[in-house]
Amino acid sequence: MNVAKINVSEHRKPDHDVLPVFVSRWSPRALQPGVSRADLSRLLEAARWAPSSYNEQPWRYLFAVSGTPEFNTFLGFLLEANQVWAKNAGALLLLVAKKTFARNGKPNGVAVFDAGSSWQNLALQGASMGLAVHAMAGFDAAKAASTLGVPEDFHPCCMIAVGKPGEVETLPADYQGIEKPSPRNPITAFAFEGRWKA
């Protein structure tokens, strides 16, 4: 079965009224190629418009498209547990964040936070386009940075697999059972009025 056929509303019910894309976005592993350069441009355009401290825009994306030698290079940065499914992606991206402000060279303590905002823009744009977008912290950051010539001043945040939704049956058996939208904690578990609550 194609993951696009999975009915998200059978797995997730928001407690309050929100934009549907927040709930319908999830991170499939069943991918297939077919991500066009125009698709990638739209994803990066969404990433572009994220807010950031002092409008620093500390995010940088390096990417490789399936079928190119660079794609295999990017794939080689991933842990085996991610490689087994991400190999079917249409594109792999590396998100890095500039650790200092361009304006004064001082440390930017929110660079990774801002890069995360841009990733979320990208992910939501992908979901709205019917693409599967999956972030991965499981990669060798030092290897990726040195191989791709990323300067010292940039922190490797995560890699991202993008693909057309694929068939669940193409996944290794132990991944097939978990190929569904995950739940969330209730608001009361993470939002506290007035002061911290244990």
Ligand X SMILES: Cc1cc2nc3c(=O)[nH]c(=O)nc-3n(C[C@H](O)[C@H](O)[C@H](O)COP(=O)(O)O)c2cc1C
Q: Which is nearer to ligand X, 12 or 101 (CB)?
A: 12
Q: Which is nearer to ligand X, 29 or 98 (CB)?
A: 29
Q: Which is nearer to ligand X, 101 or 120 (CB)?
A: 120
Q: Least distance in Å: CB of 131 to ligand X?
A: 13
Q: Least distance in Å: CB of 194 to ligand X?
A: 29
Kindly list the distances between the CA atom of residue 144 and the CA atoms of 31, 97, 99, 113, 164, in Å, as whole numbers in the listed order. Answer: 22, 14, 17, 20, 24
**Taking CA 136 as the corner, what is the angle to CA 166 and CA 79, rounded to the nearest 5 degrees?**
95
Q: Which is nearer to ligand X, 135 or 150 (CB)?
A: 135
> What residue has token string 């193409």?
170
Q: Least distance in Å: CB of 120 to ligand X?
A: 8
Please state, in angstroms and rounded to a whole number, the distance separating the CA atoms of residues 96 and 61: 7
Residues that bind ligand X (CB under 6 A): 26-27, 82, 135-138, 158, 181-182
Q: Least distance in Å: CB of 181 to ligand X?
A: 6
CA-derived radius of gyration, the chain: 18
